[in-house]
Every structure is written in structure tokens, then in C-alpha cells.
Amino acid sequence: MDSKTGVYICSGCDIDQAMDVEELAKVASKECKVPVSKTHPVLCSEDGVKLLKEDREKEGVNRFMIAACSQRFHETTFDMGEENIVVRAPIREYVAWTQKTRDESGEVDEDTQLAGEEYIQMYTAKLKKHGIPQPFEQDTSKKLLVIGGGVSGMTAATEAANAGYSVDLVEKKGHLGGFCLDEHKLIPSRAPFSEPEINYVSAIVSTVEENKLIKVHTSSFVNSISGQPGEFQVKLNQQGKIEKFKCGAVIMATGSQPYDTAKLSHLGINYDNVVSSAEFEQMAKSENILRKDGKPALNVGFIQCAGSRTPDHLPYCSGTCCMDSLKQAAYIREQNPEAKAHIIYRDIRTPGLYENFYRSRQDDPGVFLTQGDVVGVKETTDKKIAVEVDNTLFGEPVNFEMDLLVLAVGQVPSTLSGESALNLEYRQGPDLPELKYGYPDSHFICFPYETRRTGIYAVGSVRQPMDINDAKLDATGAAMKAIQSMELTDQGKTVHPRVGDQTFPEFALSRCTSCKRCTEECPFGVLEEDEKGTPFPNAARCRSCGVCMGSCPVQIISFKDSSPTIFKEMMTSIEMPDEFDEKPRILIFACENDALPVFDMAAMNRLKINTNVRIMPMRCLGGLNLIYVTDALSYGYDGIMFMGCAYGDDYQCHFVNGSQLANTRLSKVQETIGRLNLEPERVRQYAISMNDYERLPKIIDDFVEELDDFGPNPFKGM
């Protein structure tokens, strides 16, 4: 179908108080040569939308450039249907609300008007190069693979099945149940949260085994997973026999192990009457809370944080041991009312309603709680255990003598066991990338299921330290995300954070130099490569961030709505003011997640933004291709600002390391800029967060001021 472009300029929201919109319309028809160019007093009104739709029906306009408010407003108002492309030029925010308005005599400011005209040119140029997004179609499976048959895995399987999805549940051991199956009792899961609960894990096992949608594979492990979401190819090893099947998404629920007590000799683990919390659980289960010599243990001590919250062992808190020891104290009291429990702790961590469980134990006169630091554990001649505690509420070091001492140890994720649970056949490795301490957790507060391998979710105590109650909730959430991934993949759309996006990277492979940068830098392991090193994309793994596009030194990667060509067309669409005009031009590339909305915030607060900057949106700074820098500088732009999120340990990039990659690439281009006899400071990257709108005008002014010292870009007009 022939494309027909219409430019529609809104004069509402004070746009006409800053610019002559009829002149803008003339620029669209004369300079941009579009066949349809119109203005309207309120484009978002019923009447305005009617105008757009009439032009679509009667004039055959199928590409719409809406120069009005930002994309963050009226997205659906200006939706012109799937076959038609809409590009928004936010002249309300970038010009009308942040630049000089008409003077007292009603004259528009020259620079403001120019800003408006240049934005019309830039965004019309962008529109002309847009393609129509196409869903990525494939023959998908909506079957879920769950690896790990403990409480997390069983819950995920059951919850998905209860929503109508088929599940293959794989367990390494000969039976389902996992770690919690063997627990004597469980911590309370519901109000009033005051007493241990009867172990219900075997009931969960039965529910799973009876569920017709769940196929259980015990004594099995995953030999390999290849392919991509919607069409993962799974090879299962069941006692040497290989079974192959296809699945749509994967949940990894391989759990954790207790910390290895052998490493805790300083806490007396080698003494007869010192046991780990896991061992004590079994003693209680068999109602044998005894010393090694068979005598009843009447004084049982617990050392909390045994090997936890210390740089020598586990630096983190497992968040479960306080509740576990309180539970075990209850066993002691229940099985022998004469026996006493004595818990030595640093901080009792019973958050939320668990406080009731703590209070119930505090109310028991046979449970003693002492805050302090254990400084020594010794065995006495009669094989009792002497524990010396400092920094107690008693003011001075105290000694306790115990019949039996329990070391409350934390959790270690199964990822550290040395065996891969997923065995992904991905160029970037067989496992989910780990965040910290072996946990393949999401890095995001707002998005706990943000995974680095699309369609594959870690859940339960392998994702982060957690107890059984959290694990059940976590597994339900992960099942939701896995279902979502399968459904969106089936529709050929991208998952979080660009949910529903239908643009995928396209490779002009005939020009590929097999340099492997894209395959190495893709944060989601989308790209495999053949023996020559030519990239092979797996579109369903893709999150459409554009990092590959930024990495390619020969610019062969593009998206329908974002590409090196589009950026070049945008930046060269304006007539560069010459060096005597005293109108420098600065390009700002702003990440759509964080930096771009900051300009809207500044506009809403009517902060004045330097009139010489021109803003271009990017999906992520990771899409920064060095050609943009050389293209812009050789066209005569005086400086370039790249605005994205902060990187480092607390990185905020939802595509993992986009802003960091941008920084690395820019450090490489600085030398090239120097060779052109240009000042490297003309190009700079800024970490901008949503909270920075008050600072934004000054950041830009400072940069422009610095450029002033360098004088105009000598490439202007060349």
C-alpha cells in the first residue's frame, strides 16, 4: 500500500502562545513535502480525532505525525489502527511549555519558533522511515516445564494447571516433596500465626499427583533446553533414558540447601552434642530430643545466624532461621515440659504477623531469649556445651551450659551445587545469570519476576532466601508470569518491559562481518551464532531493547521504528544554522524509560529548557551506535548529550546494562573525536532519573555553556 503522510499540529495547551502554528504547518508541507498538513485547536478533542479519522478514510492518510502533547498523553486517543503509523512530536512539552512564549506585542520568539519547526522536520523524517510492526509468528507450545518438585515447584505446577495449562514437573529425586516434606512441623501460614502447623506437604504431593494436567517425572533431570520461549526443546534424562518434548516456558524451582555446618567448627559442630537445625528437625520428628549418650536434652540452646550475616560465611540473612528456631523451641516444650529452650540471637527477625509466633514463645516461661554475640563454644568434661556470649543485655559476658546446642544455619541456593538445572543451549551459558550470592534474582523492586532469560523464571528459595509461605506466593506469581510469557509469545509479542511490542531486530546479514559484538552484548542471550560467527536471532527471546543495534559496527541491525537510518534522517532533517548564527545545536538522546519522561516533568512544572537542544527518544541507551556520534558531529551539531539511567551495582537499566554499554562505547569514540580535532567533551553521557527534573535545566545549561568555550563545530556547513 502506498504511504501517505499527514502532519497534524495542535494549537491548544498554549502551543499557539509560543509558536505560529500555521507557519509550522507550512514547514511540514514545504520543507517536509507532506501532502497533508493541518492545524487544529484541540487535536485530542472529539472534533480533532474526527479530523484524523476522516483523513484516514477519505484522503487515505496512513502515516500520521501528531505534533501536540507527548506520547505519555492520549496514546489511545491517537491510535489510528494497526495498519497505520502514528509518530508523536511533543511540541507542547519540548517547546510550548519550556521555551520563551510570545512577547507583549504578540510576536513569537525566533528561537522558539525554530525549535517547533525543527521538531516538525525531525519527527516527520522519523515517520517517513517507519515500517509497520509485524508480530513474530511461530508454532508455539503452551505447556509449562517446572524443574524441581519441592513446595515451590509443586505450587507453580498446580497453580498453572488450575488455570488450564499443561505442566511437566521434573524432580531429581525419586519422589516429590522437596526439603519441606521431611520437616516435623511447619511455621504457621495463617492467622493467628501463633503455633506450628501440621506438615501439609504430603497433601500437596497428592494434589499434584492427582492433577490430570500435570505430568510428573521423578528421578529425572533436564539434559538440555534449546530453542526459545513458545518453542523450547527439552531433553529429559530419566535414569539414562532420554525423553524429548516441547514447552512454552520454564520455571526453575530447584530450592536451596542448608549451609554446610562442617565450616562452623568455631561453633562446636564437631562436638557430640552440637547439631545443625536440619538435624534437630529430624530428632524432633522422631521424638528423640536426646544427647548423643541417649540422655534427654533438658537444656537445648540455639545459636542464631550460625554462619549467616558474616563476611566469613553467608553475608546475607536467610530470613527463615529465627522462625525455625522458635518453631523448634516449641517442639522441645511440647515433647518434654521439663525441658528448656534457650535462643541466643543478634536480632530476632519475625517480620509482619510472624511477631505473634515470637510473642507466643516469649509467653512460654520455658523459652529463654538472649540477645548477644557468641564468642566461644566449648565442650565440658561431661560433654555439655558451654557457650560464652558477649554484648548481652546483662552488660557483661555470660556463660550458658547446654545439654544440646543447635546451630541455626541459613540457606544456600541450589545454583551453587555445581550442577546446572537448566542446561540451556545458549551461547551465553547454561544458567540464569546470578545477581548476587548465587541467587538468580530479579534486580528490580517493582518487577520481582524480571528475568534475564525470557520465558524462564526462578522461583522459591533458589531465587532468594525465603520460607515456605513466601515460596508458595512466589510460585503462584511465577506461574502467572510464565503463562503470560506463553500467551504473549503465542501472539508474537514481546514480554516485559516493552509488553506487546511487535518490533524485533532485523539483520541485513549479507553485510555482516561476523564480529560477534551483538551476540556477546545481547543482555538476554537472544543471539546464537553459526560456526562462522554469523548471528542467528531467536526473536521470542528478544525484549526489543536495541542493544544489538547499538553494538553493530556496520549498522546492519534495525527495528521498524528505530534504526541508524531513522536517527540519521532525524538529525539531518533540519537545516543546520551556520556558525555565525550563534545558534548552536545540541542533540539529546534520551532513554524512554527514565530520561525522556523527565522532560515531561520539567514541562509540567514549566521549567525553562535551553532553546538550542533537540530531543530524540531511544529505547535504551544500549542502542547507542557510535555512528550517531559521527553522523551528528559531521552534520555540524555542536554537542551531544546521552541521557539514561545510573549503572553500577545498583543499576537501573531494565535491559541490564544498556547505560553501561553506552558508556563503554563512548569511551572508545572519544579518541576518534579527538582525531577530528574536536573536543571529546562535546559528547557526554548523563545518569538521569525520574527525580531529576528540577536539576535538568541546569545540567543542560552547564553543558551548553561549556560548548560555548569551544566555539562552533567547525564541520558546520561542510
Partner 1 sequence: MIKEHGKILVIGGGISGITTALEASEIGQDVVLVEKSPTLGGRVSGFHQYFPKLCPPTCGLEINYRRLRANPHIQIHTNSEVLSLSGDAGNFKVKIRKNPTFVNEKCVACDHCTAVCPSERSNDFNEGMNKTKAIFLPNNMAYPPRYVVDRPACEPGCSKCVEACKYGAIDLDMQVEEIEIQVASVVIATGWKPYDAKKLKNMGFSSVPNVINNIMMERISSVSGPTKGKILRPSDQKPVESIAFVQCAGSRDENHLPYCSSICCLGSLKHANYVMEQNPDAKIYIFYIDIRTPGKYEDFVVKVQAKPNVNMIKGKVAKITAGENGGVLVEAENILNLEKVRLDVDMVVLATGMEPNLKGQDRIAGIELDENGFVPMELQQQGIFSTGVAKWPADVNSSIQDSTGAALKAIQTSIGN
- The interface with partner 1 within residues 354-383 (CB under 8 A) comprises 354-356, 359, 371
Whether the CB-CB separation of 498 and 620 falls below 8 Å is answered with no
Q: 474526527: which residue's cell? A: 50
Q: Which one of 162, 265, 399, 664 is in contact with partner 1 (CB under 8 A)?
A: 162
Q: Edge to edge, what strands does the sheet with 385-390 contain?
A: 373-379, 385-390, 398-402
Whether the CB-CB separation of 571 and 597 falls below 8 Å is answered with no
* 81 binds partner 1 per the rule CB under 8 A: no
* 648 binds partner 1 per the rule CB under 8 A: no
Q: How far is the CB of 367 from partner 1 (least distance, A)?
A: 16
Residues 6+ away with beta carbon under 8 Å from 311? none
Amino acid at site 174: G
Q: How far is the CB of 692 from partner 1 (least distance, A)?
A: 8
* 481 binds partner 1 per the rule CB under 8 A: yes
Q: Which one of 23, 379, 434, 487 is in contact with partner 1 (CB under 8 A)?
A: 487
The footprint of partner 1 on residues 497-516 (CB under 8 A) is 497, 499-500
Q: How far is the CB of 499 from partner 1 (least distance, A)?
A: 6
Q: Which one of 1, 262, 446, 718 is in contact with partner 1 (CB under 8 A)?
A: 446
Q: How far is the CB of 11 from partner 1 (least distance, A)?
A: 11
Nearest Cα residue to 79 out of 59, 53, 40, 58 = 53
Nearest Cα residue to 647 out of 631, 667, 632, 626 = 667
Q: Looking only at Cα atoms, what is the longest distance across the chain?
A: 101
Whether the CB-CB separation of 642 and 700 falls below 8 Å is answered with no
Query: CB-wise, 124 or 485, nearer to partner 1?
Result: 485
Whether the CB-CB separation of 405 and 423 falls below 8 Å is answered with no
Q: Measured between alpha carbons, how far is 403 from 598 in angstroms, rounded to an integer?
A: 63
The footprint of partner 1 on residues 300-339 (CB under 8 A) is 309, 315-319
Which range, of 104-112, 161-169, 194-202, 413-421, touches partner 1 by CB under 8 A?
A: 161-169
**What 3-state class would DSSP assign to 570?**
helix
Which range, of 162-170, 521-529, 552-560, 663-671, touches partner 1 by CB under 8 A?
A: 162-170
472: exposed, middle or buried (Cβ count in 10 Å: 0-12, 13-18, 19+): buried
Q: Which one of 198, 262, 445, 718 is in contact with partner 1 (CB under 8 A)?
A: 445
The footprint of partner 1 on residues 178-197 (CB under 8 A) is 190-191
Which range, of 26-34, 37-45, 215-223, 607-615, touches partner 1 by CB under 8 A?
A: 37-45
Query: Could you give the dihedral angle defined by the CA atoms of residues 284, 289, 293 and 295, in that order, rounded to the nearest 10 degrees?
Result: -150
**What are the C-alpha distances in Å from 671 to residues 44, 125, 239, 589, 684?**
47, 31, 58, 21, 13
Q: How far is the CB of 249 from partner 1 (least distance, A)?
A: 12
* 654 binds partner 1 per the rule CB under 8 A: yes
Q: How far is the CB of 614 from partner 1 (least distance, A)?
A: 22
Q: Measured between alpha carbons, how far is 463 from 448 in angstroms, rounded to an integer?
A: 10
* 163 binds partner 1 per the rule CB under 8 A: yes
* 347 binds partner 1 per the rule CB under 8 A: yes
Give the DSSP per-residue string, 342-404: EEEESS----GGGHHHHHHHHTSTTEEEEESEEEEEEE-TTS-EEEEEES-TTSS-EEEEESE
Residues 6+ away with beta carbon under 8 Å from 527? 427, 518, 519, 535, 536, 537, 538, 548
**What are the C-alpha distances in Å from 224 to residues 254, 476, 525, 621, 713?**
16, 25, 16, 34, 55
Residue 684 has φ and ψ, to the nearest 5°, of: -145, 150
Q: Which one of 213, 601, 607, 627 is in contact with partner 1 (CB under 8 A)?
A: 601
Q: Measured between alpha carbons, how far is 454 from 288 in angstroms, rounded to an integer?
A: 48
- Residue 27 is classified by DSSP as H
Whether the CB-CB separation of 231 and 140 falls below 8 Å is answered with yes
C-alpha cell at 451: 528475568
Q: Which one of 104, 106, 139, 164 is in contact with partner 1 (CB under 8 A)?
A: 164
Q: Which one of 64, 119, 400, 439 is in contact with partner 1 (CB under 8 A)?
A: 439
Which range, of 272-280, 508-516, 553-561, 650-658, touches partner 1 by CB under 8 A?
A: 650-658
- Peptide bond preceding 497 in cis form (omega within 30 of 0): yes
- Measured over the CA atoms of residue 625, residue 626, residue 627 and residue 628, the dihedral's sign is positive
Amino acid at site 84: N
Q: Which one of 47, 59, 75, 705 is in contact with partner 1 (CB under 8 A)?
A: 75
Query: CB-wise, 240 or 648, nearer to partner 1?
Result: 648
Q: How far is the CB of 44 from partner 1 (least distance, A)?
A: 7
Which range, of 170-178, 234-242, 415-423, 648-656, touches partner 1 by CB under 8 A?
A: 648-656
* 589 binds partner 1 per the rule CB under 8 A: no
Q: How far is the CB of 445 from partner 1 (least distance, A)?
A: 4
Query: CB-wise, 109 or 487, nearer to partner 1?
Result: 487
Residues 6+ away with beta carbon under 8 Å from 646? 652, 659, 687, 689
Query: CB-wise, 106 or 174, nearer to partner 1?
Result: 106
Query: CB-wise, 530 or 649, nearer to partner 1?
Result: 649
Query: CB-wise, 5 or 652, nearer to partner 1?
Result: 652
Q: Edge to edge, what strands does the sheet with 63-67 contain?
A: 36-40, 5-10, 63-67, 85-89
Which range, of 175-183, 401-409, 592-600, 632-640, touches partner 1 by CB under 8 A?
A: 592-600
User: Binding mask 4-23 vs partner 1 (x if CB under 8 A, - otherwise)?
Assistant: --------xxx---------
173 CB neighbour count, 10 Å cutoff:
13
Q: Which one of 441, 528, 569, 638 is in contact with partner 1 (CB under 8 A)?
A: 441
* 650 binds partner 1 per the rule CB under 8 A: yes
Which range, of 251-259, 531-539, 555-563, 601-609, touches partner 1 by CB under 8 A?
A: 601-609
* 604 binds partner 1 per the rule CB under 8 A: yes
* 555 binds partner 1 per the rule CB under 8 A: no
Q: Measured between alpha carbons, how far is 58 from 424 in angstroms, rounded to an integer?
A: 53
* 218 binds partner 1 per the rule CB under 8 A: no
* 473 binds partner 1 per the rule CB under 8 A: yes
Which range, of 65-73, 102-110, 564-572, 611-619, touches partner 1 by CB under 8 A?
A: 65-73
Helix axes 21-30, 110-129, angle to 10 degrees: 40
Q: Which one of 465, 523, 644, 712 is in contact with partner 1 (CB under 8 A)?
A: 465
Q: Which one of 20, 31, 60, 73 is in contact with partner 1 (CB under 8 A)?
A: 73
C-alpha cell at 149: 518438585
Nearest Cα residue to 524 out of 657, 617, 613 = 657
* 605 binds partner 1 per the rule CB under 8 A: yes
- Residue 108 is classified by DSSP as P
Q: How many residues bind partner 1 (CB under 8 A)?
A: 88
540 CB neighbour count, 10 Å cutoff:
27
Query: CB-wise, 138 or 630, nearer to partner 1?
Result: 138
Q: How far is the CB of 235 from partner 1 (least distance, A)?
A: 28
User: Binding mask 243-282 vs partner 1 (x if CB under 8 A, - otherwise)?
Assistant: ----------------------------------------
Q: How far is the CB of 255 from partner 1 (least distance, A)?
A: 15
**What 3-state class would DSSP assign to 38?**
strand
Q: Which one of 245, 368, 437, 710 is in contact with partner 1 (CB under 8 A)?
A: 437
Query: CB-wise, 210 or 671, nearer to partner 1?
Result: 210
Q: How far is the CB of 572 from partner 1 (least distance, A)?
A: 29
User: Binding mask 677-696 vs partner 1 (x if CB under 8 A, - otherwise)?
Assistant: ------------xxxxxx--
**What 3-state class would DSSP assign to 230?**
coil
